[in-house]
Structures are given as structure tokens and as C-alpha cells.
Amino acid sequence: MPPVAPVDLDGLQAQLQQRMLESGEWDRIKFVLASKLNDSGWTDDLRNRSKERARTMEPLSFATLLRELAPHAQNSMPLAVRKEAVALIRGYLEKQFE
């Protein structure tokens, strides 16, 4: 059996991202995700948390705000929305490797 060549995962990811951008799939998935998050109230919750934290932050720093709120944003995403986004991405990837 011949040796298996190493896979350049970073290069493969970059190629797939480029294909998604060029095909419009990235925008479609982003739109679906944004709509679902907005419908679930997640967007408003995160916006409100951001405003409250920014009001008390001295000095105001976007990087700090992002670092502090990112864990909550990731952990509070509704499971159904996360599953749908993953399914859309997985479906696109499966089509690319048929």
C-alpha cells in the first residue's frame, strides 16, 4: 500500500471557503442563521448584554467586549439553530465531495 500524502487542511479550508463565497452559499447560510437567531430572541439578548456591559466598561474596548461576551454567545445559541446551520454546511460539503 503506497503511503498516504498529508492533507493541507488549512489550504483545503481556504478553498472551500472561497467556493462558498463565489457560489453564494456562504451568504445563504449566513442569512438563514441570522434569521433563525433573530427569531429566537438570541440577537436581541446578545445586543442587550453588549449594551449593558459597554455602559460600565472603562475604557470602552471592542476587543474586551467581544472576549467577554463570546462564551455566552456561543453557549446560548439555541441547539435547533446550531443543528440547522451545521446541517446546511454539511450538505454543502457533501455536494463538493461527491
Q: What is the pLDDT of residue 8?
A: 84
Q: What pLDDT was estimated at residue 98?
A: 74
- The answer to whether the CB of 89 falls within 8 A of the CB of 82 is no
Fold assignment, 25-96: Serum Albumin; Chain A, Domain 1 (1.10.246)
Identify which has the larger pLDDT, 25 or 98: 25
pLDDT for 89: 92
pLDDT of residue 82: 95
Q: Quickly state the pLDDT bin for 3 (edges 50, 70, 90).
A: low
DSSP 3-state of 41 = coil
Q: What is the pLDDT of residues 8-37, one digit of tens each?
A: 888 988 998 999 999 999 999 999 999 999
Express each pLDDT in 39-75 by its tens digit: 999 999 999 999 999 999 999 999 999 999 999 999 9
Structure-block grid coordinates of residue 37: 437567531
| Residue 77, all three cell numbers | 445559541
Cell numbers standing for residue 24: 453564494
